[in-house]
Each structure stands twice: as C-alpha cells, then as structure tokens.
A and B are shown apart, each in its own frame.
Chain A
Amino acid sequence: MSFKKRTITALGALAIIGASALVLSGCSSASTPAPSASSTDPAAMTGTVRILMEDVPDSDIVKSLIPEFNKVYPHVTVSIEKLVYDQMRDKLVASFQAPTPSYDLIVVDNSWMTDFVDAGFLQPADARIKATPNYDPADFFTSLTDITKVNKVRYGVPFYNYALGYIYNSDIIKPSEVPTTLDGLVKLSQKITTPTMAGLAMQPQTGYKIMEEWTNFLYSAGGSIYTGTGKANLDTPEARTALNKYIELYKTAAPKNSLNWAFDDAFRSVSSGGSAAMVSYNWNLAALNKPGSGPYAGKFKLAPMPGGKSALGSWTWSVPTNSGSPDASWAFASWLTSKAIDVKRVVAGGAAIRASTMKDPAVLADAYGADYYSTVTKILSNAAPLTEGANGDEMIQSVGEQLNNAVAGTKSVSDALKAANDAIKTIQKR
C-alpha cells in the first residue's frame, strides 16, 4: 500500500470515528407522605434542602430570605442552585432518576407538571398542606392552584406567576385609550405606529413564544385551546379571528422583520422606545420602570389583556419523591409561601401568588403601587394555562410552529389552525 493510500485510509477511519461521535452528540407511584413528628417543631427539625431554581431576580429574593427562615428553623440548611430555564428540566429529570438525588425541593413549570406526576417524580402535597397550621391555601389564586393539581390531587403550592398583561408606554398611550377588545388593540396599535416607533412589540418566534402571546389573542376573541372536556379546540371561528388579527397586527403595527423575535427582543424594543407596548409578564413592569433603564423608564403601566382573560404560566414548589429531606423541604416551601413571608417576598419584588398579599398595606405602598396590584388581581382572577395534561411542551411547540407558519405566510390561517388542532389530537394520544 502506498504512503498516500495509507494516509487516505487512515483519514477515512478517523473520519468514520469522528462522524460517529459528531452525529451522536445530539443524543446522548407516588404515595402521600405523612409529615413526621419533628415537622411540628421548627427548632427540632434538621436537614439540608437543596433547591434548583431559575436564574432570575426572584430566586435572589428567595435566597435573601434564608437567614430569616433559619431564625425559625435553625438546624435546616438551605442551598439554592440557579440555572437558566433551558437547562433546568434536564437536571431535574436526572436528579429524579439518580440513586442519590441532587435536589430535595424543586420548582415545577406548569407544562411539566403532568409529565412529572405521571412518572411518579413528585410527592402529593395534600396531606402536608392540610397538616400545616394557619397556612390558608384557599388564599392562593385559584388559577395558580389549578395548575398544581393532577387528577384533583395537589402536588405542590404556587411560587410565582407568569400571567401576561398589556404593558404600555403611558407617554404614548393614555390609560383611557387602553384597548378593551381585540379590534381596539389592532386599531390603537396601528394608529400610534410611526416610522420610528411600532405600536406593539410582538414575539412571533416559532414554538413557545408565539403560542404564549397568541393564546391571549385567542382568549380575547372568545376562543379556547381545549373544550370543556379537554379536547382540541383550535379549528374554530374564534381561533381564526384571533390568528387573522394577530397577523394583521404583525404586518401593520409590529417592528419590521421581527418574525424571530422572542421576549428579550420585544423587551429591548419597548424599553428603548422602539415600540409603544408589548404583551408580557406582569412583573416586567419593574424592570421597564427601573430608573436609568431607558428613555421612558417610569412611564410604563400594566392593563389586563383586551377581553379580560390572560394566558398563564407559573412555578410550583414541589417535593420530589426521592427528596433527601422531604419534611425540611416542605418546611421551607410552606414557610416561604405563608401569608406573612409572601408579603415580604412581594415587597422585595417577587411575583404575587396570594390574594391577601395584594391587599396588604406594605405591598400597596411599594414601588409598583396600588394600581398595579389591582390590575394583577384582575389578571390572575381570569387566567388559564397554555396547556393541560401530559406532553405539554410538545403541544405548545407543535401549535406554535403552525401559528408561526401562518404569520410567515407559508400556510393559510385555516390550514395552520387545522394542523395545530390535529397536532394536539395526536399528542393527546401518545
């Protein structure tokens, strides 16, 4: 064999090995626990609570409350690991199945809840909630506690709301002009659009983002994702109206060439004065109004979505089935979500979960102001999640792809919604 031939053969072998490694690099029954005796005596409770949370300011607020928790529970150690959202679920699933878990207490996104429960990863929380004195679980917003339930069993308690509202620049839009109907939203957004400022910074990126934003339009048009019996309900006149209005807004009042925009693009646009409004999480108001954050800081206000009903996401505190210290974990979660501590967390900038917190004088006097809390109360009182049942992420992604196809013009509105409806049916059968 010549040197050249041998070199080529060797390179071929190396390439095959490399190809194998490169191509494959892309892959690579719960029972209700009874609280132990020590859980009734905070001073006697011991344990370590390892928590995985999203890397957002709210996690820092929770972290800042740990010293106060340790005044009540001196022998419980709480440590918080923070990760960006996209990495959280993989770490959680690995911990659930590991012989020695990495986390004792977790936060669960609403689209993961049924999958985690079906797999037996989470402990039911009913007995613990019932056994916790002065906890008042009925004070949580129903829209949030509904997300914690699978087959009428609670698997945690609310931690954080991701309810969406209409955030607008009050220098451009007077509070009296805030639209109350979908048609009103389209007309107002078109009216205030100028060559330098869009009427509405939209988030039509394929998958999750467009699904989250458009669901608000669907609710405004009187539609719903599911029927009362949980069947797919997107091939309807209401859904077609909502998608047609969404596309009209994108073409006439959104920033140009923003088909791949997600939350951060829209946020920057509104903050920098490139757009007058956006549909976003209610608590974004704090960041937009933060002094020095942009030319319109302090001018942003929140309103419920036109039509009054909003899409809702949430984080839920849950104790994994394989938690190393379930009693201590519940002690921390229940302490943090108790009425008194919830007030402190919300005053520090946390997202609201309890109705009573919205009426607390300390909360009403904070930087957000009473108007904000009144609006958030309205939003949370009439909100519904993006998904119900198992395979939530797949359903959101699949519907979002079809919606984006319609906005991009690669599918008609009717075809896209029919395909989205069929996708939900297929996913529900899995």
Chain B
Amino acid sequence: MKYEHKLLTPLLAVFAVAVGFPLLYSFWLGFTDYKLVNSGATKFVGLQNYISVLSDGAYWSSFATTTAYVLLSVSLELIIGLSIALALQKQKWVKDLTRSVLLAPMFITPIAVGLMFRFFLNDQLGAIPNFLKQLGLSYDFFGPGRALISLAFIDVWQWTPFMILLLLAGLESIPKQPLEAARVDGANSWYSFRRITLPMLSPVLVVAILLRGLDALKVFEYVFATTRGGPGTETKTIQFLAYQTGITYFRLSEASAMAFILLVVVLAIIVILFRNLEKASTR
C-alpha cells in the first residue's frame, strides 16, 4: 500500500462507521417490511416499498413541491447573493463589520428561524403584516399558492449570506489583469462582467448552487415550524413526507425507499452537472 493511501485509512474507517453503516442499513430497510412498532420478525419484501413509493401520487407531489422550492429559493439566493457580493467587493470602509452583520442569519438554527417567521408573519401579532396594514395592504403569507413562496423567502433570508460568502471569495480570487486589460481595450462594466467575471467565477458558482441546492432539498424545519405541509399538502416537501411516513406513521422501510429514490435522482443531476462542467473546462 502506498504511503498516501495509508494516510487515507483513518478517514476511510471513520467514513465506513459514521456514513457507510447507516447508509447500508437504511438501504437494507428499504427492502423489508420494518415498522417501528413491528411485533414480529422483519420480512424481506423485495422491491415492494420502491414500487409502492414510485406509484404513490403523494410522493411525486412532494417531489414537485420540493423541486419548486429549491429552484425558487436557490435562484433568488444566487441573484441577490451575487449582487451583494459584487457590491461588497467594491466596498472600501467598515468591510469587516458589514460582512459579519450580513452573515448573522446563517448562524441561527433553522427551526428558530422558522418559528421566528411564523410570528413575524402572523396577521394579528406579526411586524410584517402590521407594516403592510399601515400601507393599506393585506397579504396571506401562508394562504393557498403563497405558502411555498413564503417558505422560499425564509430560506433566502437565512442562506443568501452563505451564497455571498462563497461568491465573494470567488470574486476576490479572480486575477485583476484580464479585467484591467478589458478596461484598457474599452470594454464597459457589463461586458467585462458577462465575458470575464462570470466565466472565471463559474466553478465557484456551480459549487455554490450545488451546495445550496442540496441543502435546500433537506428543507424540513421551516415546514415543521410554520405550515406543517399545508395548505392541504401544498408545502409538504420530501423530507417532511419521509419524516411523517417513517417517524409519525412508523413505516421506516417505506421512508427509506423514499430517501433512496431521491438520492438516485440527486446523484444523477450531480453527475450530469459535473460532466458538463468538465466538458466546458476542457474546451
């Protein structure tokens, strides 16, 4: 065994215990009839759970809800985060203070953020509806067609700082020479941004989008604290559905199948994304 491979051994051992075992065990559960309140022996049921999940309209409805949530929140975070990162890059005074204040939402636990917004958006007691009332406006933040948007905005409030952090680091690592050369050649700011900054920032952008996308896929706390999946099932995300199925309804084997189907879809997206990025980088 080579020296560098030996160095990897402790990490691989920890990985096998901390990630490998739970992963394999939950994978195995997906092929059984295991329930948290099983009184008899657990039986192997083959693909039954997977077939049941794949043919369940509720699962695909939650899948669509989660996809809409991820697309909306991550897009907004990217646009707002990039705008703020570009502004911060140009900032000259009180840089440290501004950056630390902007990062503050990231350090609050998501369940607390969910509860906080539940009260902020409460029509009788919340600061935001009260402000809107003074302007003569009324808005049902958790009404049909709106609740998912409100949840995405909560995500934007909390996680745009993360996007700023990554993009700012990316922007500051871009060499100055190409930008200066473009300026000397008469390129305007928009042209330089579009043709130089964005292409050079693209590896960081992809990673930032991927990390935020994966994190947004996990959305559970905001749903739990504010809507519990409502109105009806409009904000029932995959993680909330898996929690209900596995923990509330005890059907852990079915919840495991749900999670692995999602995992396969996510892995496929990641692989396609990185293949495209590799192709682009070799061009």
Contact = CB atoms under 8 A, between A and B. Distances in A.
A and B bind: yes
B53 interface: no
B187 interface: no
A222 B238 CA distance: 38
A251 to B, nearest CB: 12
B226 interface: yes
Given A28-B22, A257-B129, A19 B266 contact: yes
A361 interface: no
Contacts of A410: 144, 231-232, 234
A20 B278 contact: no
A401 B123 contact: no
B138 interface: yes
Interface stretch (A157-165, A268-276, A304-312): A268-276
Interface string B90-131: 000000000000000000000000000010001111000100
B227 interface: yes
A257 B142 contact: yes
B214 A22 contact: yes
Given A8-B278, A259-B231, A401-B229, A409 B144 contact: yes
B163 interface: no
B274 A26 contact: no
A259 B230 contact: yes
B246 interface: yes
A396 B218 CA distance: 25
Interface stretch (B2-10, B80-88, B171-179, B251-259): B251-259
B3 to A, nearest CB: 19
Contacts of A208: 228
B124 A119 contact: no
A17 interface: yes
B-side interface size class: 35 or more
A90 interface: yes
Interface in A264-293: 265, 268-269, 272, 274
Nearest to A275: B124
Interface in B48-81: none
Contacts of B259: 23-24, 26-27
Contacts of A120: 39
B124 A274 contact: yes
A116 B37 contact: yes
A187 interface: no
A23 B243 CA distance: 12
A-side interface size class: 35 or more
A20 B220 contact: no
Contacts of B249: 391, 393-394, 397
Contacts of B118: 260
A8 B203 contact: yes
Given A5-B278, A9-B278, A15-B274, A397 B39 contact: no
B156 interface: no
Contacts of A21: 19
Given A11-B207, A393-B248, A397-B248, A207 B229 contact: yes
Contacts of B129: 257
Contacts of A26: 218, 220, 238-239, 242-243, 246, 255, 259
A269 B124 contact: yes
Contacts of B19: 17, 20-21
B147 interface: yes
Given A22-B217, A401-B232, A404-B232, A259 B281 contact: no
A25 B239 CA distance: 9
B138 A257 contact: yes
Given A26-B238, A274-B124, A257 B140 contact: yes
Interface string A361-399: 000000000000000000000000000000101100100
A93 B122 CA distance: 35
A238 interface: no
Contact of A27 (B141, B207, B210, B256): B256
B270 interface: yes
A12 interface: yes
A318 to B, nearest CB: 14
Interface in A109-124: 115-116, 118-121
A15 B247 contact: no
Given A19-B214, A24-B23, A206 B250 contact: no
B37 A121 contact: yes
B214 A18 contact: yes
A429 interface: no
Given A265-B122, A408-B144, 9 more contacts: A8-B274, A12-B270, A15-B210, A15-B214, A23-B262, A26-B242, A115-B37, A115-B250, A401-B233
Interface of A: 2, 4-5, 7-9, 11-12, 15-29, 89-90, 93, 115-116, 118-121, 205-209, 255-260, 262, 265, 268-269, 272, 274, 391, 393-394, 397, 401-402, 404-405, 407-411
A-B pairs, 9 with minimum CB distance:
A206-B230, A405-B232, A408-B231, A119-B37, A260-B142, A257-B140, A12-B274, A257-B123, A26-B239
